[in-house]
Amino acid sequence: MIPPSLFNQTRLLNVSSLRFIRDRSGVAYFSSSSFNLDSNIDSLKNKARAPHAHNNTPESIVSKIGRNLHRQPDHPLNIVKQRIEDYCQSYAMKKYKKIKTNENSCESDSNTIKFQIFDDMSPIVTKKRCFDDLLVKPDHVSRSPSDTYYLNDELLMRTHTSAHQTELISRGVNLFLCSGDCYRRDEIDSSHYPVFHQMEGVKIFHESELVPNDEERSNAIIEEDLKELLTGLAVHLFGKVEMKWSADYFPFTDPSFELEVNFRDQWLEVLGCGVIEPQVIFNAGREGSKGWAFGLGLERLAMILFQIPDIRLFWTDDKRFHNQFVGLSKDHQKLVTFVPYSKYPLCYKDVSFWLPSAGGNPSVSTYHSNDFYEVIRDVAGDLVEEVQLFDEFTNKKTGRTSHAYRINYRHMDRSLTNAEVDEIQFKLRHELVTRLGVELR
Ligand code: DAH
């Protein structure tokens, strides 16, 4: 569901030199000076706009850089982020003792260590950090330009916060939470949006916390700590709920797990995690170290917790949305249920076309549905609620394939007029022909 996991079939989750800062609560934050978003939003946007034959990042995506919803006080994504960070810090205070070395850890008092919090790392990352370092296979679909926004052959918009694992580990950061906006070309429905937010957690263990020369027992210690932390996190977020651990697959962890909780009578996948693959640690230049990692989707958790029905709502400026969350970034106990302030009328339009053929061969097409979704997003923005492919067939004689889509338009904050939607649909049809080379039917 929300947002999709890159690696398993189920839809789970659909820095440079460090500068030390402190927020009002006294929580230690690290941010990277060269990538500090507040001062660099314009240069990041320009970097994303730089023309290149393989730049497939449209202006609608570039414009989201620097919005930082996860850092806006009382934004539901910030509320969830705060709750997770607070819980993890209290776990660390109880559980992790400071090890007497000169390690680069953020010390809260003389005996315990804290998670270092990273929440403003650049969303523009290298292909190496996002995929290669994490052992994502060269032909994995998540790397393809139909799924990922590239700026050029090396740089891309991060598709997950795991993209920061090897960089932070290589800098000697041994316990961290890293959150940020992630970008994926994807389908359109109430739980998918091309920009969403994730949080990554990582702990690298000190050898004194493990059993020397005993891989099995060391891994068991790591797994046990990971599950204890995350089980407690689920209770902190959802209350006393039933939980289920199951085996999962991610290229960068082994073993890998997924946690499901039974909340309001529904089993929901809430996060992915595992013991970090030794090769990933090697890629971070820390051969021989061991640790765990987890990743979760902030939208997904916020939608479940507050019963927010549509992912587009996170981007609205409407006060009727935001007023419902006032004060919650500070009040970590309160559970509010979002009350939809409206359900404005839905307006749907269909469009059908022959897919473009590649190299004169009608049965081969370079067309990908995600290209179509992107044109719609560009033309109609957040007015599109859902797009469904409702008919697909290949003409036996000509070998050409036809797609028919239903597009549901609905404004979240007001009614749309038919004339307004007709105009969008007209423009969309034109763009489909000029940008994708389809033949309208
Ligand atoms: N990056 C994964 C995704 O987007 C989520 C994830 C799974 C992160 C397991 C982790 C992990 O750190 O251990 O689907």
Report whether residue 294 contacts ligand 1, using a CB cutoff of 6 Å.
Answer: yes
Residue closest by Cα to atom 3 of ligand 1: 5
* Residue to mutate (ligand 1; options 10, 148, 160; most atoms within 8 A of CB): 160
**Choice between 236 and 366, residue whose per-residue pLDDT is larger:** 236
- Does 3.30.930.10 match the CATH number of domain 4-325? yes
pLDDT of residue 21: 27
In sequence order, which residues have a C-beta less than 8 Å from that of residue 67 and are 6 or more positions away?
Answer: 181, 195, 315
Report whether residue 57 contacts ligand 1, using a CB cutoff of 6 Å.
Answer: no
In sequence order, which residues have a C-beta less than 8 Å from that of residue 48 and are 6 or more positions away?
Answer: 57, 61, 62, 65, 124, 151, 157
Amino acid identity of 360? Answer: G
> What is the Å distance from ligand 1's center to 163 Cα?
10
Which has the minimum average pLDDT: 21-30, 230-239, 329-338?
A: 21-30
> What is the Å distance from ligand 1's center to 63 Cα?
26
| Chain centroid to CA 127 | 16
Two structure tokens written together for 55: 């730049």
The Cα 194–Cα 374 span in angstroms is: 9
Q: How many CA atoms lie within 13 A of 49 on its CB side?
A: 12
State the pTM of this model: 0.88
- Whether residue 38 has pLDDT greater than 60: no
Index of the ligand 1 atom closest to the CA of residue 252: 13
| Residue with tokens 């007209």, as numbered in its chain | 426
Report whether residue 31 contacts ligand 1, using a CB cutoff of 6 Å.
Answer: no
Query: pLDDT tens-digit profile of 173-188?
Result: 999 999 999 999 999 9
Report whether residue 160 contacts ligand 1, using a CB cutoff of 6 Å.
Answer: yes
Report whether residue 253 contacts ligand 1, using a CB cutoff of 6 Å.
Answer: yes
Report whether residue 7 contacts ligand 1, using a CB cutoff of 6 Å.
Answer: yes
- Whether residue 26 has pLDDT greater than 90: no
* Residue 99 pLDDT grade (very low, low, confident, very high; cuts 50, 70, 90): confident
- Does 3.30.70.380 match the CATH number of domain 347-440? yes
* Residue 101 pLDDT grade (very low, low, confident, very high; cuts 50, 70, 90): low
The Cα 314–Cα 424 span in angstroms is: 23
> What is the Å distance from ligand 1's center to 130 Cα?
11
In sequence order, which residues have a C-beta less than 8 Å from that of residue 330 and are 6 or more positions away?
Answer: none
Domain ranges of the chain: 4-325, 347-440
Two structure tokens written together for 299: 């939208």
Two structure tokens written together for 296: 């979760």
**Choice between 342 and 155, residue whose per-residue pLDDT is larger:** 155
Mean pLDDT on 264-269: 92
- Whether residue 33 has pLDDT greater than 70: no
* Range list of β-strands (E), 281-339: 290-297
CA distances from 244 to 56, 240, 250, 268 (A): 39, 13, 18, 10
pLDDT of residue 7: 67
Q: Among 411, 423, 87, 394, which Cα is nearest to 239's?
A: 87
pLDDT of residue 6: 63
Amino acid identity of 299? Answer: E
